[in-house]
Structure 1
């Protein structure tokens, strides 16, 4: 939905075409089976019925991104607001929240009647959009934001580094403002160290503008350190993030930037570069030119990945990654237009103080 708006902003399609396409999507969403207003992970594209071969899973992170798209749609096209807003309001995130822990579950299996064993405990990962929206809707309290971990506690010795930092208090909640260091640069890690965990949320959240001492600063550090890491590995291009591979799909990262750290084997993906456009514009433009030398650019844009060590290109297009690239480009070319739409909504506006008041220990 957001890439359709980006396409209209770029002049590729008319406003009427964009509205018509999104209207079709909204009608489909209205008719789909839901759980407490939240959407299942898998439906049959032929008729919108549930696809149950893989289970009946309600994903916190995926519903969060659907909500984000619906919120942006309602602001970009006021004539669609009632429809899109009704869908968002009916999505009850309180059903995925554990008050005793102060965190969101990974999801819920409706068929089994079971929540995932894990919570989304780390702040600096892509599910923070779902958390922000849940707070903005009033489904969960704002203390949830402070209950997520910046790093895991120092005593958790399985993580890649022993974090340094200090404990402070926000809204009556104690927060360990921890950080890692790489080549003398401090940063708050993501779970795996990938670019989309770090920067995908800034497609809609005004982290760059409002979180200048926290998330915005950290986003800039992650872009910088991904570039440094690739250079140290001897890669001819950078941008490590989950992507399609010749075999299937896999997770890739600048390994030191994660608490656990996904692998790095020379595979880079163009969407990671697009996400970094607003934080390292000249380096990103240079990197895109470099990626073209690997013959990664074709009829529909960039292929999903290339291994810069072997030169093997995955000749596939992933809708998720193409969408991220389009939205990132639209924000870059149009002064944050998609973020502006998101923050014009009451849901986007309400938790802004959480972005503003925090200071990471990475100054």
Structure 2
């Protein structure tokens, strides 16, 4: 099944890399009555594209300025590689980084330039240094793909964790390479003087190496990634999917595919299709929900409803889940970044008015409903992040994830189980939630769909919960005790930078990312989809 990102020792030492100023009282976000937490019409009620007030823009600029401070503090001046994380004192960055982190730094530097936080000269120098280092990093040469862990200081591929000395089996992650490639597209368009360098790296990356054309009854699915050497006892599948791989040794693929539609990993599918490396019909190979076939899939969170349609010869069950008086296509774990991170670069809601155009605002509405009404935390925004009580955890709206033991929103984790009609009885149909944990980057991702609600939520996180420092918002905070994870993760900070850049600068990152050939290849696929999602009645 689809799996979400994990990272480095803080996130469990998994070497594979499988990869608000108002506390809103309970009942304020009365979705059945059409009121959102910002006093407007709620998600989908007019925030998208309506522009920002001057006060809102100033607030977002302040957030961006401080967020960039943490990004800059995490970046090695010699290599231009950003670390995975840094503590609140901004003193000592971690000594590991990933392709996603590096990509996030690149697009954050573009946003910082466009917002006037740094000069054009500084942005070009920073980005140019990173591109030069990327050209020198050890890669899997036949595919052009980058390994998952490098030293920010030296650029060396990691084979042991710097802190523990534990073995790292070098892995090449589909989704992590997708985010780096997305950043290279942005840089190429954003600065003509860096166009050649960025394109040389981008053009060398072949996403066909990740794509199993035999999966999903021939529609094709992306594997999670591959190793060059056997990673201990980990399950692997030997093979070689590269189109131009004659003579190249087989690699060892993960035993899972990215097989769900609402996943951050779809960025790699978009890129592969646009590049002609993945067949277009693969866009329809992923699952909206698991099928409703007797009790065979009764392990999923709830019994889906939907109809079966055919796209490009691929039969698709357009299943949806019910949640908070709406229907939507769920993510594997019910988190915000699974649903909305690709929307930072691909205009999914505009291109897919019958799919993402409803599902994205419905996802925001579901997160708000959960935080403000169902669990009554007073705040919302649930996505994988640092754990305020130590380590790293995958947070989400558990009742909205396909996985029946999906990502919980609280500490300790509450398992929501309402059963599966005709197959299993629910073990916890009326859950009592513990202490909620919200992460600011999840709120920022919702900016296009409920600007007022997002800014109210973030203001409360900053002023009432105190989860703000010199480098911007801390990575996560508990909603009862106000215990914060007083650190900054470069990926989460880069999502914040991207969301602010789009909000202030009229979707600038989407404009940089999408060119004519990408639109020609991808837009018709997105436009054809019909999800069956609905907003609150």
Interval of TM-score (by shorter of Structure 1 and Structure 2): over 0.9
1:282 and 2:428 are equivalent in the alignment:
no
- Alignment partner, residue 108 of structure 1: 226
- Alignment partner, residue 262 of structure 1: 407
- 2:349–2:355 contact (8 Å) kept in structure 1: no
1:136 and 2:274 are equivalent in the alignment:
yes
Q: Structure 1 residues 91 and 348 mapped into 2: Cα distance closer, same or farther (>3 Å)? A: farther
1:58 and 2:145 are equivalent in the alignment:
no
Task: Give CA-to-partner distance per residue, 1:254-273, whole Å, 9 cap, x none.
Answer: 11221012112111000111
- Alignment partner, residue 6 of structure 1: 111
* Mapping of residues 138-287 of structure 1, within 5 Å: 138-155=276-293, 156-231=297-372, 232-245=374-387, 246-260=389-403, 261-265=406-410, 266-287=436-457
Match of 2:139 among 34, 37, 53: 34
- Alignment partner, residue 343 of structure 1: 514
User: 3-state SS of the aligned residue for 1:346?
Assistant: helix
Q: Where do 5+ consecutive residues of structure 1 fail to align?
A: none
Q: State the distance in 1 between where 2:445 and 2:144 align.
A: 30
- 2:263–2:331 contact (8 Å) kept in structure 1: yes
- Alignment partner, residue 303 of structure 1: 474
Higher relative CO (CA 8 A, sep ≥ 6), structure 1 or 2? 2
- Alignment partner, residue 152 of structure 2: 45
User: 3-state SS of the aligned residue for 1:104?
Assistant: strand
Q: 1:44, CA displacement in angstroms?
A: 1.9
- 2:223–2:253 contact (8 Å) kept in structure 1: yes
Q: State the distance in 2 between where 1:295 and 1:326 align.
A: 20
Q: Structure 1 residues 38 and 345 mapped into 2: Cα distance closer, same or farther (>3 Å)? A: farther
Q: Where do 5+ consecutive residues of structure 2 fail to align?
A: 1-105, 161-167, 231-250, 411-435
- 2:346–2:513 contact (8 Å) kept in structure 1: yes
- Alignment partner, residue 200 of structure 2: 86
User: 3-state SS of the aligned residue for 1:162?
Assistant: coil
Q: State the distance in 1 between where 2:508 and 2:109 align.
A: 13
- 2:211–2:221 contact (8 Å) kept in structure 1: yes
Q: Once structures 1 and 2 are overlaid, which stretch shifts more, 42-51 or 118-127?
A: 42-51
Q: State the distance in 1 between where 2:124 and 2:453 align.
A: 35
Q: Which structure has the bigger radius of gyration?
A: 2
Q: 1:176, CA displacement in angstroms?
A: 1.0
- 1:343–1:349 contact (8 Å) kept in structure 2: no
Q: State the distance in 1 between where 2:456 and 2:151 align.
A: 41
- 1:96–1:107 contact (8 Å) kept in structure 2: yes
Task: Give CA-to-partner distance per residue, 1:203-245, whole Å, 9 cap, x none.
Answer: 1010122111111311110001100011220102111111112
- 1:133–1:348 contact (8 Å) kept in structure 2: no
Given the two structures, how large is their TM-score scaled by the length of structure 1?
0.97
Q: State the distance in 1 between where 2:186 and 2:152 align.
A: 23
Q: State the distance in 2 between where 1:46 and 1:225 align.
A: 41
Show structure 1 runs of 4+ deviating over 6 A.
none
- How many aligned positions are there? 363
Between structures 1 and 2, the one with greater helix share: 1
Q: State the distance in 2 between where 1:11 and 1:24 align.
A: 20
Given the two structures, how large is their TM-score scaled by the length of structure 2?
0.66
Q: 1:152, CA displacement in angstroms?
A: 1.4
Q: 1:349, CA displacement in angstroms?
A: 4.8
